[in-house]
Structure 1
């Protein structure tokens, strides 16, 4: 291809969504990744597209925009690429958040009311209604909230579909190329991206390196506070259809998501896939890039899942996997151009919500890049906010 207008560093679902939206806007896009496309954080994700786990504020606004955009975007790509090339296993299955103790019931109900106050469908349901929706769920519950807007997709399929659209529009995707910085021109702006395979001239670079985004930004001379946060997931053998019908999680999951604690935290999350397997999470720990699979964590996840769904107690586990999520200290993504380095853009810091937020992130970044009116207010996600970047010029 000719010199690209934009190089996207990172072929996970966020980078793929940015590349798709930029190519849709008519830009020539090159996507680079240190490994295979969608083989990092995206491959270790559960495919959640959630509004239920976010408190009212900027991230929830972005999540709602992304929840609207995902089915529209997938429909557009099916029309453009054909159904076979644009299958992402989209399932608007809804979510069920439950309290299992008296102490967590009132906070869950208060959280749901706060959601309803901003227009989210958060429907309290009786225990009899819970039994009709999830027959295998424990009856030892103190409260339950149904979130019809929660959905799920297959993250690797979603990312590869987005990248297929980039290729179809004349862009390029190159795996096995690690970005190591940028070259600036005489005016101080980005002139090329530097990689372990040489330089690629371009007018702009999008840092979508996920957990490695902080390191890449530092290599570019514009550091941002993005750190890896490790998580583990169990996968069961396939179960009969209907064993788990929603994304079901204990109310303590919301607190774990919002926590900045570096130490290990586990909370109960159970959901099925179209293949019939059940995904069991979740854990969070800031341990650098340590890839150790801790069996004590896996046992804790299994124990909690079996308490929520007793039917899982004797179900074999096929495998476990782990991954690193890009964490920021204020729990908000970083989306936009870096004011310290013209031509360097960031789309990272989504932690465990990147799959759900990707569609709106790509759309927002492309709108900012092309100067169009943005779908959501980009100010909360700006690079120069105190929690993320230091020594940023006003």
Structure 2
């Protein structure tokens, strides 16, 4: 059997999206996954599809990817458990309302539909929020999916075009075109795409990605409790912190009527066990915004590891010092949101195509330790 043009390590949402994009361009693709498609951080995440605007590069990638998501789910939203519920960024006080207005100006300047909500309009939309909040910003185009299903759909599309999915644990990389599995099997491809999330740094020592542990909880069914994804404006500080443990208010109304509760961030641990103190802290914080949440039944709690880069942007493109090795990792909490744009940007670079946005802000070469690796 001839070697694949591309060998992808990892079949989470990023690896599956890359397999879909590359196979659609006629490349022969093989994907190696140690568990099942859509496991790992993909299965642990909340599935929030959100435009983030903390910097121009983040805004460009997330906005483009949401356009791709809407095209992807069109006509079959039920298969993805998709809902265009919108996001309300909740402002606790006048200072956060000022931040919401700045956010609204940025979104509007980029053609993204949004509207400011004063306190009255906020409570008309979300009466379960605690009294005394100042208002918020509604971003209409945001949505949600069930990520493992979407990853499976992406992978199935690639397989239908001839892609292969292999089960195995990659122990280490061999140059830029080979991997060695735990059972000693050697696999080769014309190029390697490392899309193994937080595990990527274990396979590539010079990769500046560290894990951020997060907790999620899900309730019993309470249809209509909330209608939008609710996120406090303070979430941004938590999401981009470089150290220390933090929690932020983040609630999601699942199509099942259940409520997903987040979010937390912890550094310096890869232990998958639920940290009960952190979970309790996160739930208390959520109930401080929606008091009735305290009386709900939580059915399950779990954790996941986000792959975080030092500058908060994903790492997408060729390794600057290892020819043949390509990277698609470091997405932190935006892996689901930006997966489709990541795959298109990677494929465009590989095949020297033009893309909707410049690749420069996401290239691995922006990190000096990668440029000097193996020199």
Question: Which of 134, 139, 152 is the aligned partner of 1:160?
Answer: 152
- Please state how far the C-alpha of 1:380 moved relative to its aligned partner: 0.5
CA contact (8 A) 2:319 2:370 kept: no
Q: Which residue of 1 aligns with 2:212?
A: 229
C-alpha displacement of 1:104: 3.1
Aligned to 2:73: 74
The answer as to whether partners of 1:234 and 1:280 remain within 8 angstroms in 2 is yes
| Change beyond 3 A, Cα 1:48–1:388 | farther
Q: Is the 8 A contact 2:9 2:192 kept in 1?
A: yes
Contact 1:227 1:288 in 2 (8 A): no
1:244-283 correspondence to structure 2 within 5 Å: 244-260=226-242, 262-283=243-264
Output the aligned Cα RMSD: 2.0
Sort the Cα spacing of 1:388 and 1:246 in 2 relative to 1 into closer, same or farther, 3 A: farther
8 Å CA contact 1:193–1:201 kept in 2: the answer is yes
**Structure 1 residues 330-360: Cα deviation after superposition (integer angstroms, max 9, x where no partner):** 0000000112111100000000100000010
The equivalent position to 2:198 in structure 1, one of 200, 211, 221, is 211
Q: Structure 2: any 5+ residue segments left out of the alignment? A: none
Aligned to 1:187: none
Aligned residues: 374
| Cα deviations by residue, 1:344-378 (Å, 9 ceiling, x for unpaired) | 00000000100000010011111111111122100
Check if 1:193 corresponds to 2:176: no
The verdict on how the C-alpha distance between 1:330 and 1:64 changes in structure 2, with shifts beyond 3 A counting, is: same
* Aligned equivalents of 2:61, 2:372: Cα separation in 1: 27
Q: Deviations over 1:51-110 (max 9, x none)?
A: 1x43231011000110000121234xx7xxxx69x8111211100011223443333333
**Structure 1: gaps (5+ residues):** 185-189
Deviation at 1:387, TM superposition (A): 6.6
1:284 corresponds, among 245, 265, 268, to 265
Residues 1:379 and 2:360 are matched in the alignment: yes
Worse-superposed segment, 340-349 or 34-43: 34-43
Distance of 1:388 and 1:292 partners within structure 2: 32
Deviation of 1:113 (Å): 2.8
Distance 1:330 1:238 in 2: 38
Please give the alpha-carbon distance, in whole angstroms, between the structure 1 residues aligned to 2:221 and 2:53.
30
Shift of 1:267: 0.6
3-state SS, counterpart of residue 366 of structure 2: coil
Give the corresponding residue for 2:163.
171
CA distance in 1, matches of 2:300, 2:220: 9
Q: Is the 8 A contact 2:321 2:370 kept in 1?
A: no
Closer, same or farther: CA 389–307 of 1 in aligned 2, 3 Å: same
Q: Give, in angstroms, the shift of residue 49 of structure 1.
A: 0.9
Aligned to 2:313: 332
Change (3 A) 1:194 1:141: same
Matches within 5 A, 1:40-119: 40-51=40-51, 53-75=52-74, 87-119=79-111
Task: Decide whether the 8 Å contact of 1:178 with 1:196 is kept in 2.
Answer: yes
Instruction: Name the CA distance, whole Å, in 2 between partners of 1:149 and 1:36.
Output: 30
* Shift of residue 392, structure 1, vs aligned partner: 5.7
1:238 aligned residue = 221
> TM-score scaled to structure 2, two decimals?
0.94
Q: Which 4+ residue blocks in structure 1 deviate beyond 4 angstroms?
A: none
